[in-house]
Amino acid sequence: MLIMKEIEGVLHFEDVALPAVAEQFATPCYVYSKAAITANWQAFSEQLPAPHKICFAVKANSNLAVLQVLAELGAGFDVVSGGEIARVLRAGGKARDIVFSGVAKSDAEIRYALSQGIGQFNVESDAELERISEIATGMGLTAQISLRVNPDVDAKTHPYIATGLEDNKFGIPMQDALATYLRAAKLPGISIVGADCHIGSQLTELAPFLAALERMLALVDTLAEHDIQLRHIDMGGGLGVTYSDEQPPQVAAYIQAMLARLEDYPHLALYLEPGRAIVANAGVLLTRVEYLKFNGHKHFIMVDAGMNDLLRPALYQAHHDIVNVDCHSKAASITGDVVGPVCETGDFLGQNRTLKVQAGDLLAVKSAGAYGFTMSSNYNTRPKPAEVMIAGAQMHLVRARETLEDVWRGETLIPNEAKA
Catalytic residues: 343
Report residue 381 CA to chain centroid gap: 25
**Pairing status of strand 16-17 against strand 98-100:** unpaired
User: Any binding-site annotation on 379?
Assistant: no
User: Any binding-site annotation on 263?
Assistant: no
State how far the Cα of 150 lies from the Cα of 168, in Å rounded to an integer: 9
**Pairing status of strand 333-339 against strand 348-356:** antiparallel
User: Any binding-site annotation on 46?
Assistant: no
Strand partners, 57: 78
User: Any binding-site annotation on 148?
Assistant: no
Phi-psi label, residue 300: left if phi above 0, alpha if psi -120 to 50, beta otherwise: beta
Alpha carbon distances (Å) from 158 to 11, 101, 199, 200, 234: 31, 21, 12, 9, 22
User: Any binding-site annotation on 340?
Assistant: no
Whether 378 and 406 have beta carbons less than 8 Å apart is answered as no
Q: Helix, strand, or coil here: 419?
A: coil
State how far the Cα of 265 lies from the Cα of 263, in Å rounded to an integer: 5
User: Any binding-site annotation on 231?
Assistant: no
User: Any binding-site annotation on 353?
Assistant: no
User: Any binding-site annotation on 273?
Assistant: yes
State how far the Cα of 386 lies from the Cα of 250, in Å rounded to an integer: 32
User: Any binding-site annotation on 306?
Assistant: no
Report residue 314 CA to chain centroid gap: 17
State how far the Cα of 52 lies from the Cα of 98, in Å rounded to an integer: 14
DSSP 166: T
Q: Helix, strand, or coil here: 47?
A: coil
The counts of H helices and E strands in the chain are: 12, 21
Which residues are known binding-site members?
A: 238, 273-276, 312, 316, 344, 371
Which residues are known binding-site members for pyridoxal 5'-phosphate?
A: 238, 273-276, 371
Which residues are known binding-site members for substrate?
A: 276, 312, 316, 344, 371
